[in-house]
Amino acid sequence: MLRRTLQAISAVLFLALPATAAEFPDRTITLIVPYAAGGPTDVVARLLGESMGRDLHQNIVVENVTGAGGTLGSTRVAQARPDGYTILLHHINMATTPTLYRRLPYDPVNAFEPVGLVTPVPMTILGRRDLPANTFAELVEWLRANGERANLADAGLGAASQLCGTLLQHSIGTRVTTVPFRGTAPAMQELLAGRVDVLCDQTTQTLEYIRNGSVKVFAVTTPERLSVLPDVPTTAEGGMPSVQVMIWHGLYAPHATPRPVVERLSRALQAALRDPRIIQRFADMGTVPEPQDRATPDAHKAFWAAEIDRWRPILQAAGQYAD
Ligand code: ASP
């Protein structure tokens, strides 16, 4: 009887005590992806989760919490227990939502502990296969001529695709009809079916469809051409240097997660970014891992703050073209 009582007390005490970094992690970690499964952010998260899990000797399961331009997934992590067992992989959305959203269920900056930067991913501007335009200049002409009769798919206010679409509309001075999805995986299906006209999306999803010719590609959003798509011009070559955007990804824990836990996650992130399998898969998808010294909480924090400042005036100027 006494033994059972002591066992029960120690079990309660064990549960009540916060895990130390030495013990972390002692169970499965949930990695929240704020967009649909099979899409470009999800692909990065699943590769990363698998590799980080090896370093941490625990499983990392990916959960897609989709909707509201990626802010529902962020909300889930912002409101999770700050113990490192619920973390978020998100992208440039984290730098645009503080400007784009007047009210959110979480503080878009202070609700998180940055863990480290993951990978910068270029975007491609695509059209349905039977779109009557073959060059970026012809696409611009077609969008201007069609205005709101033209459809541009995106993943909702705050998504990378929506940011790229906003820059494009602002540059050409024409508003088109935007069609939001829970991620660009479903948006891509609509483009393949020819039910939407245009989609701007990360190479982590689009290369395969560009190469098999099931979509048209008009431009890449980087200052230089990409080695994986050497024949595709940049938006700057097409006369629109302001449609330039790189989709950086970062890993986040909820605010007040103990620093040793954040640092353990960061070390696992760094190990994953050195993993030859990740390096190869990223290269196949037109991207590279962030350097080790950027996969740290401090570098991530500083870069994130600078990105919020950089995008604010651009988004404000392009505001009338946002959703
Ligand atoms: N590419 C999407 C975006 O526009 C997100 C996704 O589905 O991964 O932000």
Alpha helices in 65-175 (DSSP H): 71-78, 93-100, 136-146, 160-172
CB 206 within 8 A of CB 221: no
pLDDT tens-digit profile of 173-197? 999 999 999 999 999 999 999 999 9
- Report pLDDT digits (tens) over 107-130: 999 999 999 999 999 999 999 999
How far is Cα 10 from Cα 14, in angstroms, rounded to an integer?
6
Query: What is the arithmetic mean of pLDDT over 57-79?
Result: 98
Tens of pLDDT, residue by residue over 295-308, are: 999 999 999 999 99
Q: Which two tokens stand for residue 7?
A: 């066992």
Please name the residues in contact with 55: beta carbons below 8 A apart, sequence gap of 6 or more.
267, 268, 271, 272
Spatial distance between the Cα atoms of 168 and 312, rounded to a whole number of angstroms = 17
How many angstroms separate the alpha carbon of residue 234 from the centre of ligand 1?
Answer: 20
Q: Is the C-beta atom of 151 inside 6 A of ligand 1?
A: no
What residues does 121 pair with on adjacent strands? 247
- Looking at the predicted structure, is the pLDDT value of residue 17 above 80? no
Which of 300, 303, 281 minimizes the C-alpha distance to 45? Answer: 281
Residue 10 confidence class, pLDDT cut points 50, 70, 90? very low
Model-level pTM?
0.92
- State pLDDT tens for residues 29-41: 999 999 999 999 9
* Tokens describing residue 312: 């604010």
d(CA 261, CA 53): 14
Question: What are the tens digits of pLDDT across the range 183-237?
Answer: 999 999 999 999 999 999 999 999 999 999 999 999 999 999 999 999 999 999 9
For residue 232, give both structure tokens: 């595709």
pLDDT confidence bin for 323, thresholds 50/70/90:
confident
pLDDT of residue 150: 98
Q: Is 247 in the pocket of ligand 1 (CB under 6 A)?
A: no
Atom 8 (ligand 1) nearest CA: 41
Instruction: Give the residue-averaged pLDDT of 14-21.
Output: 49
Q: What sign does the dihedral 186-192-196-201 (CA atoms) show?
A: positive
The length of the chain, given as a count of residues: 323
| pLDDT exceeds 70 at position 13 | no
Q: Write down the residue that tokens 């290269």 correspond to.
A: 283
- CA 268 to centroid of ligand 1, rounded, Å: 24
- Residue 80 CA to residue 72 CA, distance in Å, equals 12
C-beta of 36 in contact with ligand 1 (< 6 A): yes
Average pLDDT (135-144) is: 97
C-alpha Rg value of the chain to the nearest Å: 21
Q: What's the confidence (pLDDT) of residue 117?
A: 98
Q: Which residue among 91, 163, 164, 204 has the greatest number of ligand 1 atoms within 8 angstroms of its CB, and so is best to mutate?
A: 91
Residue 319's pLDDT band, with cuts at 50, 70 and 90, is confident
Please compute the mean of the pLDDT values over residues 245-271 and round it to a whole number. 98
User: Tell me, what's the pLDDT at 19?
Assistant: 52
- For 87, 90, 179, 180, 314, the CA distances from 185, given in Å and listed in that order, are 22, 16, 13, 12, 27
Q: Does 94 sit in the ligand 1 pocket, CB within 6 Å?
A: no
152 CB near ligand 1 (under 6 Å) = no
- The single-letter DSSP state of residue 196 is S
Mean pLDDT over the full length of the chain: 94
pLDDT score of 11: 44
Task: Write down the pLDDT at residue 321.
Answer: 84
